[in-house]
Amino acid sequence: MTNISKSLVEWYSRYKRDLPWRETKNPYHIWVSEIILQQTRVNQGFNYYYRFIDKFPDIKSLAFSNIDDLLKIWQGLGYYSRARNMHFTAQDIINNYDGEFPSDYSELIKLKGIGDYTASAIASISFNQATPVLDGNVFRVIARIYGISESTQRNAGKKHFKKILQEIIPDENPGTFNQAIMEFGALQCTPKNPDCENCILKSVCFAYTNNMVAELPLKKQKITQRIRYFNYIYIIYKDFTFIEKRTNNDIWKLLYQLPLIETENKVSIENLEKTQEWNQLFEGLEPEIDINFYKKKHILSHQILVTHVYKVRINTMNDFLLNNYLKIYMSTLPKYGIPKLLENYLKVANK
Ligand code: SF4
């Protein structure tokens, strides 16, 4: 083991946080935790992990679950394609791998939703393979210690980081090393104000010894975000409301939602009433629009959703609503997996 690896592992044994997925090497549990923790903070992921494992304790229960139940558990975590891919992969493992997780990186990476990072994590933690992980924390630690100003957004940069990691990952307990370097990045070598003065690696750290901690790693290029305008209609008919399932290849695929009119620009309710979609929804009806409406800007990694939700009462129904939407009791809405944004709205609207 190199001195750097040894220091990281020693540091980890003293300072690591007690997290439920660190008590196991079970590949199913490692997989679930890694997928949940992608794009999710550890504190938030904690409860989701417990709920997930409670509901789907093993690969079989996940494979045979109803996707709607899975999306319901996932509600609020965002990036719902992660959950859909897990469902697919669980079935794939049952059907094509005798229900057992493949134990080799090269097989793991063939599974849907499992990329280099997750395959490396599972292979190292569960199967003792020396496959280094490269996530944002590891990237920062390596960039600073070795003084690398390349970005991992390019393949060449990624390869360079991987090469260094491959040289320092030990053959013995590679999973512990992977967890150690990630934890070190999360707690010690943080993006802002890393605790350099008390760092075990400061004497060998390029960034520290060259006064370049603030400059490394290289900042990511800003992603341009697309702005979308979502106008939801919460239709109330007696004790019923109407929902639909999102089936297109778009955000929130397979989640349920209220009837949606997406517009090119921000529109007032008066202009919304003039759209073809509105006229279809309420053809032959006399909708009463609540003057209070809900407004929320929802920021995702590549999109900004400028959202309005209007509450509209109707006294009769038309064929368009019946043919294109699910008519459900309002009281049953919490049973459906819906985007967090709508869940928050409904909590307020149904008070
Ligand atoms: S000295 Fe500072 S920048 Fe270098 S590894 Fe330690 S915490 Fe990170």
Same domain, 173 and 243: no
Question: In this structure, is residue 215 part of a structural domain?
Answer: no
Instruction: Tell me the C-alpha distance between 148 and 161, whole Å.
Output: 8
Quick: pLDDT tens for 283-315: 999 999 988 888 888 888 788 899 999 999 999
Q: How far is CA 15 from the centre of its chain?
A: 26
Same domain, 186 and 246: no
Mean pLDDT score across all residues of the chain: 92
Ligand 1 pocket test target in 4, 12, 145 with most atoms within 8 Å of CB = 145
Instruction: Tell me the C-alpha distance between 328 and 332, whole Å.
Output: 7
> Is there an atom of ligand 1 within 6 Å of 77 CB?
no
Same domain, 257 and 131: no
Q: What is residue 39's predicted lDDT score, i.e. its pLDDT?
A: 77
Find the 194 Cα to ligand 1 centroid distance in Å. 6
Find the 140 Cα to ligand 1 centroid distance in Å. 9
Q: What is residue 294's predicted lDDT score, i.e. its pLDDT?
A: 85
Quick: pLDDT tens for 235-282: 999 999 999 999 988 999 999 999 999 998 888 899 999 999 999 999
Question: In this structure, is residue 154 part of a structural domain?
Answer: yes
Query: Quick one: which H or E segment has residue 260?
Result: strand 260-263
Query: Quick one: which H or E segment has residue 17?
Result: none
Same domain, 148 and 239: no
Domain end point (choices 152, 176, 209): 209
DSSP letter (8 states) at residue 334: G
Quick: pLDDT tens for 30-54: 999 999 988 788 888 889 999 999 9
Question: In this structure, is residue 290 part of a structural domain?
Answer: yes
Same domain, 171 and 136: yes
Domain end point (choices 209, 234, 264): 209
Tokens 């989701």 -> residue? 48
Q: Counting every residue, how long is the chain?
A: 351
Same domain, 52 and 135: yes
What does the angle CA 180 – CA 185 – CA 191 come to, to the nearest 5 degrees?
175
CATH number for the domain that contains residue 318: 3.90.79.10
> Is there an atom of ligand 1 within 6 Å of 194 CB?
yes
Does ipTM exceed 0.90?
A: yes
Q: What angle in degrees, to the nearest 10, is found between the helix axes of 155-168 and 136-146?
A: 80
Domain count, the chain: 2
Q: If you average pLDDT over residues 152-167, what whole number do you get?
A: 86
| pLDDT bracket for residue 222 (50, 70, 90) | low
CATH number for the domain that contains residue 168: 1.10.340.30
> Is there an atom of ligand 1 within 6 Å of 187 CB?
no
Which of 93, 114, 96 has the alpha carbon at shortest distance from 105? Answer: 114
3-state secondary structure of 40: coil
Q: What is residue 29's predicted lDDT score, i.e. its pLDDT?
A: 97
Exposed, middle or buried, 296 (CB in 10 Å: 0-12/13-18/19+)? Answer: middle
Same domain, 76 and 196: yes
Same domain, 146 and 239: no
3-state secondary structure of 1: coil
Find the 204 Cα to ligand 1 centroid distance in Å. 9
Question: In this structure, is residue 217 part of a structural domain?
Answer: no
Same domain, 253 and 120: no
Q: If you average pLDDT over residues 183-196, what whole number do you get?
A: 96
Which of 109-123, 147-161, 314-328 is least confident?
147-161
Same domain, 240 and 194: no
> Is there an atom of ligand 1 within 6 Å of 138 CB?
no
Q: If you average pLDDT over residues 1-22, what whole number do you get?
A: 92
Question: In this structure, is residue 216 part of a structural domain?
Answer: no
Given the residues 23, 34, 107, 244, select the one marked as catalytic. 34
Residue 183 among the catalytic residues: no
Locate 182 and state its tokens: 């990630």
Q: If you average pLDDT over residues 157-183, what whole number do you get?
A: 95
- Phi, psi (rounded to 5 degrees) for 228: -125, 150
Q: If you average pLDDT over residues 4-24, what whole number do you get?
A: 93
Same domain, 159 and 237: no
Quick: pLDDT tens for 77-105: 888 899 999 999 999 999 999 999 999 99
Question: In this structure, is residue 219 part of a structural domain?
Answer: no
Ligand 1 atom closest to the Cα of residue 195 is 7
Residue nearest to atom 4 of ligand 1 (CA): 205
Which residue range forms the structural domain that includes residue 273? 226-349
Locate 40 and state its tokens: 């999710």
Question: In this structure, is residue 135 part of a structural domain?
Answer: yes
Find the 199 Cα to ligand 1 centroid distance in Å. 6
DSSP-assigned beta bridge partners for residue 262: 230
Share of the chain above pLDDT 70, in %: 98
Same domain, 93 and 233: no
Instruction: Tell me the C-alpha distance between 51 and 222, whole Å.
Output: 34
